[in-house]
Chain A
Amino acid sequence: MRNVERLCLAHLWVAFTAFTVACVLGTWQMWVRSPLGAKVGTPGLYFMSVTAHGVSMAYVLSTFFIMGFGYFVAVTALNRPLPGKPWAWLGFWMGLIGVVMAVIPIAMGHASVLFTFYPPLTGSAWFYIGLVLVVAGSWIWCVLMIVAMAEWKRENPGRPVPLAMFATVANAVMWLWTTVGVAVELVFQVIPAALGLVQTVDVGLSRTLFSWTLHAIVYFWLLPAYTAFYTLVPRAAGGRLYSDTMGRLVFIMFLLYSLPVGIHHLLMDPEHGNGMKFIQVLLTAFVTVPTFLTIFTISASMEIAGRLRGGRGVFGWIAALPWERPMVLAAGLAFVMLGFGGFGGLINMAYGMNAMVHNTAWVTAHFHLIFGGSVVIMYFAIAYEIWPRLTGRDHVSLAPLRLQLWLWFIGMMVMTLPWHWLGLQGQWRRVANFNYADPIIAGWGPWVIVSFVGGLVLLASALLFVRNLFVLHRSPALALPRPLYALAVHPPHRVPAALNGFGLWNVLVAILMLLAYGWPLAQFAIAPSPSAIVHRVQ
């Protein structure tokens, strides 16, 4: 590990601290929205809490976890020291200072604009500047990942980059592209408005710029889970990866097709023509390709493991898998949630069906199931897998780990399935309370309570997770060095440069973005639309 343990642990603990706080807030929100807590709190408090919950989960947990895991992969997969470690610490401190700068105005009620900002609402400038610092810190991480891979390639000419590192760099490259949209929105539109330099803001433009970021950011969160599917899960199951090439193709396709698709978040917006929406919906459909390829490849890899362990018949290999291992269990549970969430996503993607669920609780339920469910459960499994390497101590018992993963799965299903159903009934999102005395809304009450119970189970699981990590830090068992990353059935000996780097793909991303976002952005310069008056919430 060559002494990057502290760096990784610092990132991961910031991530999971934010996560724990956000879980408490999320549960409180579920309670006050339910008939049980209908008289508790004020809308002001509710939106403050939603902002803190969203910022913690979407920006702090994800970014710090991905950075910490990325540093871990760079050192363990490449088996060489991390280049530029002081820079990595600089990125960490920038991010942490940024988080503090953002959290203080939120807690003072000066930034209750939700994590997606929604101009012309504007909060304290410190809030936005803090978040820009977090993103800038993550850019340092991106550069370090790219440099680490480039140095390894220079030292190992002609050899394929290990898949775990290839995937991590794919995510770093994608994140650099992704953050351009929100950075431009914040620096040129929102922060000047928050500072009082301008009195109006072009909402169509800001929504378009945010959409640039909004879908790809979800894949930024998702790719570590996929990295684990391809590199950690097959090894944990005692098998081999079915195809290394498939893995490379999948990460490349995510890089290509997570970016030029963001306008599908604006299907009900008036500022874009139907034609441009159609193009991006079509491109969105291609995001399903790497997802299905992954389900196939990982299922095949698990089948290899199951049959090596003596599984027989069409489904017998499933029962033969070592489900007692947290990584295998988490992957199985993540797949179930990915199945439900993925099909929900297909519905959001379709123009006509999106019109029915748009701005309803369906959407909130969807992204909780996908990110909070499939992705975060893999974050847990990754943490359980790498923590022994970081601390030199091993888990004494895997039972509390399995219990925690099951609780998370059950809590997420109990919370989000009724939530989807409520969305189909028309329950709107982004509101602080419901009038359960209304006969139509009264019918939602029981399902909201069921959903809240799911939230309580999730909170219990979150606390158990933190407890498990604390216990590990004091565990008497010493961690034995064991292989971490899965070998492929046919380990690659040489791969074309296209599957060993991102030069070609960056050019193609640039072309795709020009075609998909060129006109939608240019139209704001050619024919500026009426601007909205800035609303300051402080």
Chain B
Amino acid sequence: MSDPRLSEPHVLDQPWRVWATVAVLTIVFAGALLGVVIIPVVQGRAAGLDAYTAICRALGIVAGSPAQPQPSDRTPPTPVSQVVWTPDVLQVLARADTARGRAKVLEVCVACHGEQGVSVAPEFPHLNGQSGAAIYKQLHDYQSGSRVHPLMTDVAKALPEPIIADVAAYYAGQPKRDPNPATLGELPANIVQLVELGDPNRNIPPCAACHRPGAGGPIEAPILHEQGQNYLALQLKAYASGERRNDVYARMRTIAAQLTAPEIDGLSRYYAAGFR
């Protein structure tokens, strides 16, 4: 766009090009010298880092601050679950074979959870329309011992990895019964409040923040609407007592321990009635 014919006289332009370039580059290189070399080396010396490490950290090639020795804690972590949502695991879930899953369901799961995921007894969860990632994580946790159940532990240990994903995908694809919650009677206001807003005074986040479909919470958070009332109440009590402990960051243990018995009952009824 800069047409040299337009400058009168043309000689006006040469110094502009030279000095503008020199000024802009000087500023950047001064910044680089200070930010990547001088400051990291000086600060690193105080933190016991050699010059090379400090410069690498300043560039971001090596993790950590160039001004502090890191990491400060080398205690190995003790995860409550062995499931890691890597792209590979997500691909396994995305490519699950529901026909193979159905075959395994008819062979193993059907006795308690039904062919379409509607369970036969109140203490067993319904699995129809449940999130595939949630079913996958629970089966995996039974396998690894993160979650314990007299029946499920042995059942899950007999299932190889890709079959777990197939079973999860099969049940996830089964339809909900989808009752019309508007016909299900009156809702106690405090339960609706817990679901929608939580209770900040007790550090209880809203249930809907994670358990409403599409809420955007942790991927393994199960969908709760239309789950059995007995099963929900049992799980909340198990979390509250610490008997069940496969929730990452102890999220559900922290929440459930704050709930009163009427609240556990009310929330179980709320979700069993089909409300979201």
A523-538 vs B, Cβ < 8 Å mask (1 yes, 0 no)? 1000000010101111
Q: State whether the Cβ of B5 lies closer than 8 Å to any Cβ in chain A.
A: yes
- Docked Cα-Cα span, A283 to B66, in Å, equals 21
**B63 contacts across to A, CB distance below 8 A:** 270
Q: State whether the Cβ of B27 lies closer than 8 Å to any Cβ in chain A.
A: yes
Interface bin, chain B:
35 or more
Are B7 and A496 in contact, with the CB atoms below 8 A?
A: yes
How many A-B pairs fall under 8 Å by CB? 157
- Docked Cα-Cα span, A438 to B201, in Å, equals 7
Are A537 and B219 in contact, with the CB atoms below 8 A?
A: no
Q: State whether the Cβ of A180 lies closer than 8 Å to any Cβ in chain B.
A: no
Interface residues of B in 57-71 (CB under 8 A from A): 57-61, 63, 65-67
Are B66 and A275 in contact, with the CB atoms below 8 A?
A: yes
Interface residues of B in 68-109 (CB under 8 A from A): 85, 87, 90-91, 94
Q: State whether the Cβ of B20 lies closer than 8 Å to any Cβ in chain A.
A: yes
Interface residues of B in 1-46 (CB under 8 A from A): 1-8, 12-13, 16-17, 20-21, 24-25, 27-28, 30-32, 34-36, 39-40
Are B36 and A279 in contact, with the CB atoms below 8 A?
A: yes
Are B58 and A153 in contact, with the CB atoms below 8 A?
A: no
- Docked Cα-Cα span, A438 to B65, in Å, equals 36
- Docked Cα-Cα span, A505 to B1, in Å, equals 10
**B31 contacts across to A, CB distance below 8 A:** 278-279, 282-283
Q: State whether the Cβ of B209 lies closer than 8 Å to any Cβ in chain A.
A: yes
- Docked Cα-Cα span, A282 to B201, in Å, equals 44
Contacts A121-B216, A494-B8, A537-B214; A272 near B60 (Cβ below 8 A) = yes
**B221 CB → nearest A CB, Å:** 11
**A303 CB → nearest B CB, Å:** 29
**B55 contacts across to A, CB distance below 8 A:** 275
Looking at the complex, which one of A153, A283, A433, A516 makes contact with B3 (CB distance below 8 Å)?
A153
**A511 contacts across to B, CB distance below 8 A:** 21, 24-25
**B209 contacts across to A, CB distance below 8 A:** 43
Closest to B36 in A: A275
Are A516 and B28 in contact, with the CB atoms below 8 A?
A: yes
Q: State whether the Cβ of B196 lies closer than 8 Å to any Cβ in chain A.
A: yes
Q: State whether the Cβ of A17 lies closer than 8 Å to any Cβ in chain B.
A: no
Are A43 and B206 in contact, with the CB atoms below 8 A?
A: yes
Known: A278-B58, A508-B24, A536-B216. 7 other contacts (CB 8 A): A149-B1, A199-B91, A273-B36, A501-B6, A503-B2, A512-B28, A535-B219
Interface residues of A (CB under 8 A from B): 42-44, 121, 146, 149-150, 153, 157-159, 199-200, 256, 270-279, 282-283, 286, 433-435, 437-438, 494-506, 508, 511-512, 515-516, 519-520, 523, 531, 533, 535-538
